Structure 1
Amino acid sequence: MQHYKTIVIAGAGVFGTAMAERLSWNTTNTVILWSIEEEVVDDINKNHRNTKYFPTHFLNTSIRATTDKQIFRHADCILLVIPSKVIVPFTEEIKSLTKSSCMVINLAKGMSDDGAFITEQIPFSHTASMKGPTFAIEVLHGLPSSFTFGGKREDYEVFKHEVLKDTGLYLDYTSDIRSVELMSILKNMYAIAIGLVSGRFNSPNVDFLIYTKAVGEMRRFLSLFECDTETIFCYCGLGDLGLTSLNDLSRNRTLGLLMGKGFSIENSGGSATVIEGSRTVKLMGEMTREKGVADSFPLVQALYRIMYEGASLNDYMASVFA
């Protein structure tokens, strides 16, 4: 028996559009993109394109778009693909519109402004986090792609077998939703750390030396946050770290590459890439010092010193190879 689902994707940017395309492959899904960008909505509805973000790609003609929040009344599943800093107020606004059975899945990567996990602050009974090694352009083009689903087992089963059927998107699972959120936050920071040595040495030996250290620190962070340390072995752990830190499509790796080549990086907030990477380094660098465990996180401390305390590139290299 077929189960028809209405999937509303909040955010019609690069990743939201890519996810809409793939979810539309399952003909039992009704896929709707919600956006505040009227020109994007009009383009999708009239031309079956999102020219602003993918100028050469035609979308599945079944995908619709809207700027009307009333669409969330009909959602069986909501995917949050909007900036992490606005998710909490956004979900509070749409809470009264949603069905009690609606599943709300956070795909955004980052923490709320007060350093809390987003999924612990959004007001729904069926909440999940889904993160993995997925570049949007490859998702859009139909390549097999994977995520870790963090949440309730019954929600995972429904999403995997009913929503993702025939999409070429694959899941592994953990009940520890906080660990999935944490991995997605940390991997951007460590991509900068690895990019720095790649920019300086352009050496696979050096890249994987630091990559291995990064994996160890990420596992220690899982322990520090009282999360399941086995999550490091999921798609959101080793998989997403590898994708983000070792592939030049990654903006965070590119930031590290530029720093490693000697470019000065301004942390004033003028770039979205710098903001997210810098926020994580600052937050984790200060937190590990406050907890008295800074010595267990030498990569984080080296990043903090070079980005916030004026340490030199040579100082950074000396620290990470110690």
Structure 2
Amino acid sequence: MSIGIIGAGAFGTALAVALAEKGPVTLWARNRDQAEAMADTRQNAQRLPGVDLPDNIAISCELETVLACNTLLFAVPTQRLRQFLTGLDLSDHTAVACCKGIEVTTGEGPASILSGARHRAVLTGPSFADDIARGLPTALTLACTDRTVAEALQSQLSTAKLRLYRTADVAGAELGGALKNVVAIGCGAVMGAGLGDSARAALLTRGFAEMQRVAVALGAQPETLMGLSGLGDLTLTCTSDKSRNYRLGLALGAGREFDAAITVEGAGTARALRGVAAKYGLDLPICATVADLVDDKVDVPGAMARLMARPLKEE
């Protein structure tokens, strides 16, 4: 089966580079100038500098070209995915969501947004685009309810340096990938404000407890959150400035401006969690505080004071 990747950002390009090891890949770029520059230079200088694109990656800005592929990997931001899909017929395609987040307007994850596809899956877990593109060992979670489809995708998308583990718990995999971004913003804010490693460890741990609350409420399996798509991704994202979510938090904590052109999925997810918490009666103080932080409703000192003043309780 042929592979098409929709979205020529850093992660989409990195996946194309990794999967080109096994055969031809078609990479779709939204901007014609970007597509032509990548085709001419064989690099994505803007999003993934220093990485050469193998010759068997075809780069196009024409949707018809990538839609000719059987398996489509969607590496576009979650908050833009539904609009992007408008008018597209995916009834003959296997669609794999490679984006992380919860849609603000509906509270749905990428797999639900891709409901028009013949088969759906989610690819998520602890990974940075640069690591994947440079062939560094990486393990990810592939979530799909259809075991036959999952096994076929696992074989198709695994390489010598990219190892995929299967799960049927799509909700759990999605939620782990989405919610850890919210906690990462909080951890970045802690470090940016100079509050120390101990405070970050506390926020990470209590944030993970909130992730588990949401997962159980939405029908996910708690053990999924203990795997690559949950704890693994949380650990990576909350401890490295390669993470855009963590870098946003660093900027908020330090009182610095952050480039508005950079997509930070955790900001939208934090806002979406307000509705989720209200609907299911969930206590999510860290997620709520991060939402207020990114919306400028509270500063970091106020956020920390709010969390530290909560009633004492059992862990």
Tell me the TM-score normalized by structure 1.
0.86
Q: Gaps (5+ residues) in structure 2?
A: 311-315
Check if 1:116 corresponds to 2:116.
no
1:62 to 33, 56, 80: 56
Give 3-state SS (helix, strand or coil) of 2:238's partner.
Answer: helix
Q: Does 1:159 align with 2:153?
A: yes
Percent identical residues: 26
Question: What is the distance in 1 between the residues matched to 2:46 and 2:257?
Answer: 27
In the alignment, which residue of structure 2 is the partner of 1:279?
268
Say if 1:318 and 1:144 are closer, same or farther in 2 by CA, change over 3 A: same
Residue 79 of structure 2 is aligned with which of 77, 81, 85?
85
Deviation string for 1:260-295 (max 9, x for gaps)?
23x1779xx945446x433222221343245433xx
Match of 1:182 in 2: 175
User: In structure 2, the residue corresponding to 1:109 is in which secondary structure?
Assistant: coil
The code of the aligned residue for 1:14 comes to A
Q: How does 1:212-227 map to 2 (within 5 A)?
A: 212-227=205-220
Shift of 1:127: 0.5
Of the three residues 121, 129, 143, the one matched with 2:136 is 143
Structure 2 match to 1:39: 33
Structure 2 counterpart of 1:75, from 69, 75, 85 = 69
- 1:105 partner SS: strand
Q: 1:299 aligns to what?
A: 286
Please give the alpha-carbon distance, in whole angstroms, between the structure 1 residues aligned to 2:275 and 2:257.
20
CA shift in 2, pair 1:60/1:182, >3 Å: same
Which segments of 5 or more consecutive residues in structure 1 lack a partner in the other structure? Answer: none
- Structure 1 pair 187–235 and aligned structure 2 pair: CA distance change class (3 A): same
- The answer to which structure, 1 or 2, has the higher relative contact order (CA under 8 A, 6+ apart) is 2
Deviation of 1:299 (Å): 1.1
State the alpha-carbon separation in 1 of the partners of residues 158 and 263 from structure 2.
Answer: 30
State the shift of 1:41 in Å: 2.2
Cα distance per residue 1:134-192 (max 9 Å; x no partner): 111111111011211111222221122233243x1112222121222222221111111
C-alpha displacement at 1:307, in angstroms?
A: 4.4
- Say how many residue pairs are matched: 306
Is residue 130 from structure 1 mapped to residue 123 from structure 2 by the alignment? yes
Q: CA deviation at 1:198?
A: 1.8
Q: What SS is found at the alignment partner of 1:9?
A: strand
* Partner Cα separation in structure 1 for residue 292 and residue 64 of structure 2: 47
CA distance in structure 1 between the aligned counterparts of 2:157 and 2:147, rounded to whole angstroms:
15
Alpha carbon RMSD of aligned pairs, Å?
2.4
Picking from 6, 9, 13, the partner of 2:5 is: 9
Match in the other structure for 2:313: none
User: Among 221, 224, 231, which residue is 1:228 paired with?
Assistant: 221
Tell whether the 8 Å contact from 1:149 to 1:174 is kept in structure 2 after alignment: yes
